[in-house]
Structure 1
């Protein structure tokens, strides 16, 4: 029976090994995407807090308009941390456009969130990869523009495209998805092959034998380290299927008895002549209203309306949230500031909450730095297994050829 599983393990690995190695390598890099981005460009994200209060958002908006005169402002993200810059998301592209976007970190969430429904856990979100504009960072105390991020031109976009197979378009994405499915079977058959025949062999399968020759060490690197990393790799591969196959996402919502579709955003009431409104609600007024509704928050992300009937969406991240997209949201009438709809994270459907957990689990950010380090290490090990596995196979072939020659001579 083990010969049967060994053959399955071998041939599936030969078919998908190279793709798996690339996905593991790029995945290990993406674990620290946010941390590396902030370390490489600290001026974009951090400022020295001033003794004076932050400037009104109108002043900061004016600085962005002066910096990008033709751009359309789509979203604003304000942090409670006084050392953070304010992030202004521009719609559609570098020269403006029609598509709304979110803050830089929320963009990462939209990119890596689920594909079922609309919104942050929806089908790419409303600031999907195709039409997302740049993010401009502004010092909240001086209104100075501290930097700009065009994600599609960044190093991490290239890494992400390799990770998801999008460099090959739909075919590349399918190849990565199929390889990920095969990887689940490879891990399963690997555990069957690892299982010791006796109790005495357990210790041997759990420890690296450094004193043996290079063949023995290669064997242990594949077998022993493969066992220790199997559960993590299985979880990463399983959650990764959500970015490759729509049927997988549909299955999540079906199993949780949840609808994939999120309700359409509410519309703002058309202002009447009698009301004589001064105009649309300013971003500052919307932020004040959001702070009234949620006085304690890590960040407030405002998505501005696209037209005269649209509403202002505010995503609020509470302290101690399980992950960065576990936000509460409220929709405000763009004229009166009245709350049109409000939903806490706990009020989302079970399907949305389960699907939302896939990103932090897949990237290893679910428990902060400890889980990130484990994820990165496991991903690096995942790069080595196709190599050590091929060496094991070649050594076995060489051994079998020698055996056949001896039989032939005899």
Structure 2
């Protein structure tokens, strides 16, 4: 039984390892992607604050006039030095100075560091001509494989005796032994975070399925987020 579980543990890691590496690296970059954008290209994302932003109607009308596109939604910022982002009907975005209503940059999502990293993180950048993102299902499968693998790894550690004594790293051990100890110790310490990361990653794509699992485990009903208000056109 233990031997078979080890083989399954290794096989699942090999099947999903490359994709999980991409997801991990892109997820780490994603945390700081907007900060990098602001640092590298401040003229496109930062503005000089004035007394207070213009009202929504004025901003929407001005942006629609400048871009010749209807505004789908806008994203105000709490930070007074940051430009506001508008999504347009042609699926482009506009970075707008909220104090003057000037459009300072128009772009597609993947033109930015944040958008590129997010697309890589969620669906490996690939999008078919009809707008489908087939790789997003594979990324969810990899998250599921990670969840299963973490559970198997935890079982392999917790089942034998002396499990606490095996939570030790001996720096002078041979490289193979040292790597095994690091694998075990880090896997146990990060067991809960890895489970949460894998499950929430799947929830971005498999919303209905993960919601059903969550409601079953918690015996509570998940409350859906209210729909955002529509912009009058």
Could you tell me whether the CA contact under 8 Å between 1:60 and 1:138 is conserved in 2? Answer: no
When the two chains are superposed, the root-mean-square deviation of aligned CA atoms in Å is 3.4
Alpha-carbon separation, structure 1, partners of 2:148 and 2:56: 53
Q: Structure 1 residues 63, 258: CA separation in 2 closer, same or farther (over 3 Å shift)?
A: closer
User: Within 5 A, what are the aligned runs for 1:4-403?
Assistant: 4-50=4-50, 54-55=53-54, 60-61=59-60, 63-65=62-64, 67-68=66-67, 70-79=68-77, 81-87=79-85, 89-93=86-90, 132-140=91-99, 142-165=100-123, 167=126, 171-195=134-158, 197-199=160-162, 202-205=164-167, 207-249=168-210, 251=212, 255=216, 256-257=220-221, 303-306=230-233
1:249-269 CA-partner distances (Å, limit 9, x unpaired): 55168654468797xx8xxxx
Alpha-carbon distance, 1:24 to partner: 1.9
Alpha-carbon separation, structure 2, partners of 1:228 and 1:66: 55
Alpha-carbon separation, structure 2, partners of 1:253 and 1:196: 27
SS at structure 2 position matched to 1:146: strand
Alpha-carbon separation, structure 2, partners of 1:81 and 1:164: 27
Q: Structure 1 residues 6, 61: CA separation in 2 closer, same or farther (over 3 Å shift)?
A: closer
1:274-329 CA-partner distances (Å, limit 9, x unpaired): xxxxxxxxxxxxxxxxxxxxxxxxxxx874124xxxxxxxxxxxxxxxxxxxxxxx
Could you tell me whether the CA contact under 8 Å between 1:75 and 1:302 is conserved in 2? Answer: no
Alpha-carbon separation, structure 2, partners of 1:71 and 1:229: 47
Q: Structure 1 residues 198, 230: CA separation in 2 closer, same or farther (over 3 Å shift)?
A: same
Which sections of structure 2, spanning at least 5 residues, go unmatched?
none
Alpha-carbon separation, structure 1, partners of 2:171 and 2:61: 64
Q: Structure 1 residues 152, 190: CA separation in 2 closer, same or farther (over 3 Å shift)?
A: same
Alpha-carbon distance, 1:61 to partner: 5.0
Q: Which has the higher contact order (CA 8 A, sep 6+)?
A: 1
So what's the TM-score if we normalise by structure 2? 0.75
SS at structure 1 position matched to 2:22: helix
Which sections of structure 1, spanning at least 5 residues, go unmatched?
94-131, 266-300, 307-410
Q: Structure 1 residues 46, 260: CA separation in 2 closer, same or farther (over 3 Å shift)?
A: closer
So what's the TM-score if we normalise by structure 1? 0.46
